[in-house]
Amino acid sequence: MAVNDYPELPQRLADVRGRIADACARAGRPVDGVRLVAISKRHPVEAIMAAHAAGQRDFGENYVQEMRDKLSSLDELEGMAMRFVGRLQRNKVGDVVGCGCSVDTVDSERLARALSRRAATAGVVVDVLLQVNIGHEPQKAGVMPDEVGGLVELVSTLPGLRLGGLMAIPPATDTGGAARADFERMHRLVADLGLAELSMGMSADLELAVELGATMVRIGTAIFGPRPD
Ligand SMILES: *Cc1c(COP(=O)(O)O)cnc(C)c1O
């Protein structure tokens, strides 16, 4: 794979930016209030380089080792910021702290404390979001909605962590009115807790997420195409 193996990427990226701008206009929101995070998981580094060349700066990965491998093989890309959006095991906490990425998937006191200890030891501050299990799905990561308040309070006191807000991946089966209800509940949580950032919305539902207050949307397929196996 080479950077120029992605001839369609600039147009795809422009299309996604257009969708975000249209959704912002409809919602009466400023377009710079929504950050586009390009989820590059399972795509090669050349895809990241192509997106960066097309002006994209925020990226997300959801496997620790893959993220580390990519970051180490990418030359310094100007202004690039990486977010970890996958499930984080506590024994990998040191690896993500070493990456200089933010972590959008903190969902337990134990994980928060482990991350805090590592960050404090390394003398760095890690930007975090708390992942909320908005659909109450037993198999899914995320703190339950009625426990978010407690976790926010704790994380706010921990050294080495800077809490920005909340993140959610609603149930894939929630479409239409159910998806709207999930996003509305997330928006209410963020507002009630006095937080700023709300990461929600993917390729298929970014318009609804923007309408309902997302400050970050996480887009993979619509930018990079289908993920290679
Ligand atoms: C893969 C992934 C996305 C992107 O999904 P698409 O449907 O490809 O846009 C967003 N968020 C998370 C957490 C992901 O793992």
- Beta strands (DSSP E) in the chain are 35-39, 58-61, 81-84, 102-106, 126-132, 161-168, 197-199, 216-219
Give the pTM: 0.96
Alpha-carbon distance of 49 to 77, in angstroms, equals 8
27 lines ligand 1 (CB under 6 A): no
Q: What is the model's pLDDT at position 75? A: 77
Q: What is the model's pLDDT at position 155? A: 98
Mutate to test the pocket of ligand 1, among 15, 67, 202 (most ligand atoms within 8 A of CB): 202
Residues of the chain with pLDDT under 50: none
Q: What is the three-class DSSP state of 197?
A: strand
Q: What is the model's pLDDT at position 229? A: 77
Atom of ligand 1 nearest to the CA of 203: 9
Q: 70-93: buried (b, 16+ CB within 10 Å) or exposed (e) per residue?
A: bbeebeebeebebbbbbbbeeebb
Amino acid at 76: E
Mutate to test the pocket of ligand 1, among 42, 66, 85, 102 (most ligand atoms within 8 A of CB): 85
Q: What is the model's pLDDT at position 5? A: 83
Beta-carbon contacts of residue 221 (< 8 Å; ≥ 6 apart) = 203, 227
Q: What is the model's pLDDT at position 1? A: 65
Per-residue pLDDT of 91-149, as tens digits, reads 999 999 989 999 999 999 999 999 999 999 999 999 999 999 999 999 999 999 999 99
